Structure 1
Amino acid sequence: MVSDGHGASLQSGKSSQPGKFITLEGTEGVGKTTNLEFIQSYLRAKGVPLCVTREPGGTPLAEQVRELLLAKRDETVDETAELLLIFAARAQHLNQVIQPALARGEWVLSDRFTDATYAYQGAGRGLSCEVIATLEQLVQGELRPDLTIVLDIDVATGLARASQRAALDRFELEAVEFFEAVRQGYQARVTANPDRYRVVDAGQDLSAVQSDLKLVLDQLLP
């Protein structure tokens, strides 16, 4: 099942750049990796020139920052330090990968972007959304995704799925309450700007999830 929370139709053709910018979001265990691969294959089969990337990461420097952020450590990571590291990686990612690809007319598909910061560092960590918005404007200017797909699932199911993977990273070891707040953070983003978001029920059978993804992507395709 796919929704925007308000029944609005996706607005295409409003991007300020030649290419389209699609981001995929969600809490732990929603199946982002599997569904990112599906979206990638679907768009390429439609002849879309595509750049696939991820956050944090996407460049050698940003990937090193990702390692710093995800590594389990005895030292407590200051929440503001975490936020600044994320935006440092994002600035490099935008400059080296995302903006050049869009300027070439490619579509960019990113596993997470700034919505994750509002959800994890804002709603999850309790950092000020005004501070995040200031950094967002500083690093991104007016650039925002054309479409953000939020894969949604109840937290207990998602964490059960995530626990079946190999070693958990620093974020995946957070308490259930943290992920409940993150999910609510995503829901608040969707409610505030329904035209940009599509919510897909990731608790469905995989074939149903991917059928919903096709419907969402077809709205953006020419």
Structure 2
Amino acid sequence: MTGQFLTLEGIDGAGKSTHVDFIRDWLTARGIDVVVTREPGGTPLGEALRALLLDVKSDISLDTETLLMFAARQAHVDAVIRPALAAGRWVLSDRFTDATFAYQGGGRGVPFERIAELERWVLRDLRVDRTFLFDIPPDVARARMSTTRTLDRFEREREAFHQRVRNAYLSRAEADIDRIRVLDAELPVATLQAELARDLGRLLERR
């Protein structure tokens, strides 16, 4: 039996990473073997590309940025995601292809059709079973980030950029309501995790 592929998405500062451990622990407690990973990253090559892509000193063209995202994703899919799913494990990834549509597409302006072509090439028959989209206004996200860490290359973008990213995420959610669950990231953590638990329970029942 193949596993389930879950992803977490949202603009920088939405707090999605806070819930990775919760989802892993909730599933593990119910006998599910979970692989936790992230994008860009997940493999030695992916992590090296992540460092380059997030470095504020990097001078990368728009096309190069998009292609590097998919290069990292190809290695990630081949080395981590497909083998885990084939072994019956569940994969939980902090970001995946939706992020490229949102950041490089919505934020940077890369044509969505071009990203979709790369998606078809790299993913082929691979599909995400559930995406949790943590939605939050960019100004609230910015306030959270400014007090917690040094900002990376994407986090330093202006609020208008992050609003375009948010809009792209929400457009994808509207177009794929069966896969993408939109969560209000301004809600208390306990409330969000209760919603996550309910949806995870439905996934287990369907399985």
What secondary structure sits across from 2:6 in the alignment?
strand
Q: 1:83 to 1:44 in 2, by over 3 A?
A: same
What secondary structure sits across from 2:134 in the alignment?
strand
- What corresponds to 1:12 in structure 2? none
1:142 partnered with 2:131: no
CA distance in 2, matches of 1:206, 1:49: 24
CA contact (8 A) 2:40 2:73 kept: yes
Stretches of structure 2 lacking an aligned partner (at least 5 in a row): none
Q: TM-score, normalised by structure 1?
A: 0.90
Stretches of structure 1 lacking an aligned partner (at least 5 in a row): 1-16
RMSD: 1.0
Q: 2:77 aligns with which of 94, 118, 122?
A: 94
- What corresponds to 1:110 in structure 2? 93
CA distance in 1, matches of 2:199, 2:165: 23
Q: Which has the higher helix share?
A: 2
CA distance in 2, matches of 1:108, 1:133: 22
Aligned pairs for 1:50-69 (under 5 A) are 50-69=34-53
1:49 is aligned with what amino acid?
A: D
Runs of 4+ in 1 over 2 A off after TM superposition: none
CA distance in 1, matches of 2:10, 2:185: 9
Aligned pairs for 1:163-178 (under 5 A) are 163-178=146-161
Aligned pairs for 1:67-86 (under 5 A) are 67-73=51-57, 75=59, 77-86=60-69
- What corresponds to 1:121 in structure 2? 104
Higher RCO by CA contacts (8 Å cutoff, separation 6 or greater): 1
CA contact (8 A) 2:52 2:58 kept: no
What secondary structure sits across from 2:72 in the alignment?
helix
- What corresponds to 1:28 in structure 2? 12
1:133 partnered with 2:92: no
1:183 partnered with 2:149: no
1:68 is aligned with what amino acid?
A: L
Alpha-carbon offset, residue 166 of structure 1: 2.0
- What corresponds to 1:205 in structure 2? 188
CA distance in 1, matches of 2:105, 2:133: 17
2:11 is aligned with what amino acid?
A: T
Identity of aligned residues (%): 49
- Cα deviations across residues 114-147 of structure 1 (Å, max 9, x unaligned)? 0000000000001010000000010010211000
Alpha-carbon offset, residue 206 of structure 1: 1.0
1:67 is aligned with what amino acid?
A: A
- What corresponds to 1:154 in structure 2? 137
Q: 1:47 aligns with which of 9, 26, 31?
A: 31
Q: 1:138 to 1:207 in 2, by over 3 A?
A: same
Q: 1:18 to 1:166 in 2, by over 3 A?
A: same
- Cα deviations across residues 138-186 of structure 1 (Å, max 9, x unaligned)? 0010211000110111111111101112211000000000000000000
CA distance in 2, matches of 1:74, 1:138: 27
Q: 1:198 to 1:74 in 2, by over 3 A?
A: closer
CA distance in 1, matches of 2:147, 2:30: 34
Alpha-carbon offset, residue 73 of structure 1: 1.2
Q: TM-score, normalised by structure 2?
A: 0.97
What secondary structure sits across from 1:199 in the alignment?
strand
- Cα deviations across residues 11-38 of structure 1 (Å, max 9, x unaligned)? xxxxxx7110000000111112211111
